[in-house]
Structure formats: C-alpha cells, structure tokens
Amino acid sequence: MDEVFKALADSSRRRLLDSLNARNGQTLRELCAELDMARQSVSKHLAVLEAANLITTRRSGREKLHYLNAEPINAIADRWITRYHRARVHTLADLKRVLEANPMSDNAFVYTTYIKTTPEKLWQALTDPIFTNRYWGASFETDWQPGSEMVWHQRDWTSKDPEQLVLESDPYSKLSYTWHTFDPSFATAFEMNPDDVASWAREPRSKVTFELEPAGTELVKLTVIHDGFRSDSQVLEGISGGWPAILSNLKTLLETGNPLPTP
C-alpha cells in the first residue's frame, strides 16, 4: 500500500492516470504524445505505476497497451472506507469510482489483482461451484473442457445456450469462456428493466479470460480480461462496475476463508 501512495504523490504520474482515465488502453507512444513527455520519463513513471498495480498491461499484436487498474483503490477502500465515515475519505471514494466506472476505450475490461494463494486453489475457486457461489452467487455446470457448453445458475435464474462455451482451459494457468445469454428471465430474476436487457441481448456475445501467474511463494497474479464488446456497449459499462466487487470478494475469500459481508 505504501507503493500506491508513493505513486500517487507524483503529479506526472497522476497526469498519466488522468490520460488513461480519459482514454484507456494507450501505448507508450500515445502516452508520450498526449502528455508531451520524453519517452524515458514516461517509461519510468509507468514502471512505478505498474509496480504499485495502479496500471496493468497487455499485448495486442506488437503493441503494449496500458490500462487503469482499480484493485489498489479497492484495497484502500476495504481497509478504511468501511471503518470510517465516507465523508472523511471522499477523495479516495471519488478516485475508486472513476477507476471502476469508465469502460475501456478498446472495448475491453482489464483488471489485475494479487492474491495470497496458490494457482491450484485459485483455479478451484474459479471453477468449483461451491466456491463460485460464495463470492459470486453464481455457479456453472460444465466439465471445463474447450468446446464444452456451460449452464449458468444465479439466484432463481438459469441460462443454457449452445453459444455459452468454454473456449480455453489450461489448468492453473488460463481459463476463458463466453459470457451468458441475456433473456427475459434474467431481467425478472435481477429486477432489471426488460427493455435494457433486450438491448444487451442484441449486442455481440462477449468473452472473459482469467490469466493466472505465480508471483512468488503463495502469491498469484490474476488478470481478468473481458472483451469482445462493440464501441457503444452497455454490457461493457455494466460489467466494468460488477467485476471489481466480484474479484475483491474472491480475494477476500481465498485470503481469509470468508467472503466480504453482504451490504
């Protein structure tokens, strides 16, 4: 957490975060041009931000793209905002909301967190319905083999569709599958506007990918990439607010044995 505050203390690094907040998924060249800063200076600042986990990166062809990452701000919120009156930490709350609410400019949501666990335990938490129900409230019927169908269960809602598929399954390393179907029963189960849900159903089906990477003894780097959205996607806006809460709950469950308290 000290690295987070150190990174945020520098005005140039805050400018880089502001630039990514305005247009996420930028390359080093784009960030240099946007801020009129030398390439070496921007590279050094990005290294500090990445070390603090305030940004995360991914490759797209030959390009390295940079994204805002909400996880450290969530950690600050979990530590203090729930204990003290929110008015006392209004600035942190605003920053947390900005980082979570803005959809990715390249039509993807990217989020990185570090969890004190093992790849084997994290894989189990991503695939075992006993675990997924505890931190997500959802479970999946599938054998987790590439090409296999997935049946989603959440609350009183069940979704079965031939396009709900496991795409990749490399145990303890990478898991990818297509997102669930939006139908009228989804709107009913989650008390949502049927017209909004019908609009989501007309969008292309997206996919989510979990990348697991050991980061030391009993520590795993988890990167979640949810992509496949069109530029004006309302689904992207929705999942960008939902994933941070799910992943924070997952991290808490694996590190403490209990999920976060229900609000």
Question: Which backbone phi and psi does 167 adopt, to 5 degrees?
Answer: -95, -45
pLDDT tens-digit profile of 112-160?
Answer: 999 999 999 999 999 999 999 999 999 999 999 999 999 999 999 999 9
The letter for the amino acid at 75 is A
Phi, psi of 259 (to 5 degrees): -75, 170
Mean of pLDDT values over 166-189: 96
Looking at the DSSP assignment, which residues form a beta bridge with residue 158?
Answer: 153
C-alpha torsion sign, points 144, 208, 71, 201: negative
Q: Residue 150: its pLDDT value, please? A: 97
CA pair distance 105, 66, nearest whole angstrom? 11
Q: How many Cβ atoms are within 10 Å of 142's Cβ, its own excluded? A: 16
Residues 3-25, mean pLDDT to the nearest whole number: 86
pLDDT at site 255: 93
Mean pLDDT of the chain: 86
| Range with the poorest average pLDDT among 17-21, 26-30, 83-87, 223-227 | 83-87
Residue 240: pLDDT above 50? yes
211: left (phi over 0), alpha (psi -120 to 50) or beta: beta
- DSSP-derived letter for residue 26 is B
Q: Count CB-CB contacts under 10 A for residue 196.
A: 13
> What pLDDT score was predicted for residue 97?
47
Q: Tell me the percentage of the chain whose pLDDT exceeds 70.
A: 86
Instruction: Parse the chain into domains and list their residue ranges.
Output: 2-106, 111-256
Whether 21 contacts 98, CB under 8 Å: yes
Q: Classify the C-alpha dihedral 225-227-232-236 as positive or negative.
A: negative
Contacts of 257 (CB under 8 A, 6+ apart): none
Residue 100 reports pLDDT greater than 60: no
CB 109 within 8 A of CB 227: yes
Is domain 111-256 classified as CATH 3.30.530.20? Answer: yes
Please name the residues in contact with 225: beta carbons below 8 A apart, sequence gap of 6 or more: 58, 108, 109, 110, 208, 209, 211
Average pLDDT over residues 196-206: 96
φ/ψ of residue 251, rounded to 5: -60, -45
Residue pair 225/58 in contact by the 8 Å Cβ criterion:
yes
pLDDT at 89: 44
Q: Where are the beta strands (DSSP E) in 108-173?
A: 108-115, 138-141, 149-154, 157-170
pLDDT confidence of residue 101: 45
pLDDT of residue 35: 80
| Domain 2-106 of CATH type 1.10.10.10 | yes
Tokens of 254: 């694996």
pLDDT tens-digit readout, 33-85: 888 888 898 999 999 998 888 888 888 788 888 988 877 776 666 666 554 44
pLDDT at 237 over 80: yes
Residue 28 pLDDT exceeds 80? yes
| Cα(83)–Cα(54) distance, integer angstroms | 23
Q: Is pLDDT above 50 for 244? A: yes
